[in-house]
Chains A and B, each alone.
Chain A
Amino acid sequence: SQQGEEDPQALSIQEGENATMNCSYKTSINNLQWYRQNSGRGLVHLILIRSNEREKHSGRLRVTLDTSKKSSSLLITASRAADTASYFCATDPGYSSASKIIFGSGTRLSIRP
């Protein structure tokens, strides 16, 4: 089963524009993570935001977290062709030792030249 739902499922924008992807989840979390996956490849960890944080930046990435609404957003600024990929949010419930991250269904991002 998947914890998160990303919105939109697919997004196509012009190079240089900003891309925003949203993630909603169902249960309480310790942290939320975003991953990128290029076609047919493994996932690459982008950024982790803890439940007591509201916003985090890493280069051209900005992540927000609203635990009251159980939602997160990923903003990629000044998009490049190399940003074309699928993006997944993953939630970590963080309880005890029985913990693994659960992925959402992903957003497919296409950057048009």
Chain B
Amino acid sequence: DTGVSQDPRHKITKRGQNVTFRCDPISEHNRLYWYRQTLGQGPEFLTYFQNEAQLEKSRLLSDRFSAERPKGSFSTLEIQRTEQGDSAMYLCASSRYEDRGNYGYTFGSGTRLTVV
């Protein structure tokens, strides 16, 4: 297991199109998080899962955004009808609930989305 993998690394899409990103966490990690980061800012929390259950969604996550984690393994983040304001780096991270307070998160390299 080499860490958290995100695919694709880069995505350019036209406004109005739908896009889907994938995240493969570290296999023994039961928690998976999605963050969004714009240039010069810190990552902003979007949503997180424990196993297959989506436990929290940020108000940043409009109705155009949906995330899933079927079977508690990989996760997908879909953005429908993309807008230019969706252009950002989308970061995925994973952790073990049992390690809370002892270890940090492991992040993937991110998916950079550009909406033209």
Of chain B, the residue at the smallest CB distance from A105 is: B42
| Contact in complex: B56, A98 (CB < 8 Å) | yes
Of chain A, the residue at the smallest CB distance from B104 is: A45
For the complex, would chain A's binding face be called helix, strand, loop or mixed by DSSP majority? loop
| With A30-B101, A31-B101: A42-B41 Cβ-Cβ less than 8 Å | no
User: B112 interface residue, CB < 8 Å from A?
Assistant: yes
- Selecting from A13-21, A33-41, A59-67, A71-79, the interface stretch reads A33-41
- The 6 A-B residue pairs with the shortest CB-CB distance, nearest first, are A45-B104, A103-B42, A42-B107, A43-B107, A42-B109, A33-B104
In the bound complex, how far is the Cα of B115 from the Cα of A92, in angstroms? 32
Q: Within 8 Å CB of A42, what residues of B?
A: 4, 6, 91, 107-110
User: A48 interface residue, CB < 8 Å from B?
Assistant: yes
A73-113 CB mask vs B (1 if < 8 Å, else 0) is 00000000000000010101010011111111110000000
Nearest Cβ distance between residue A89 and chain B, in whole angstroms? 9
Interface, chain A (partner B; CB < 8 A): 1-2, 4, 30-31, 33, 35, 40-45, 48, 50, 88, 90, 92, 94, 97-106
Q: Within 8 Å CB of B48, what residues of A?
A: 100
Nearest Cβ distance between residue A72 and chain B, in whole angstroms? 14
| With A40-B112, A42-B107, A43-B91: A48-B100 Cβ-Cβ less than 8 Å | no
Q: Within 8 Å CB of A48, what residues of B?
A: 101-104
Interface residue count on the B side (C-beta < 8 Å)? 30
Known pairs A35-B107, A102-B45, A105-B42; list 13 more (Cβ under 8 Å). A40-B89, A40-B112, A41-B109, A43-B105, A44-B107, A45-B103, A48-B104, A97-B55, A100-B48, A103-B35, A103-B43, A105-B41, A106-B41
- CB contact between A35 and one of B33, B41, B89, B104 (< 8 Å): that residue: B104
- CB contact between B56 and one of A30, A100, A104 (< 8 Å): that residue: A100
In the bound complex, how far is the Cα of B100 from the Cα of A99, in angstroms? 9
Q: Within 8 Å CB of B100, what residues of A?
A: 30, 92, 94, 99
Nearest Cβ distance between residue A78 and chain B, in whole angstroms? 24
User: B50 interface residue, CB < 8 Å from A?
Assistant: yes
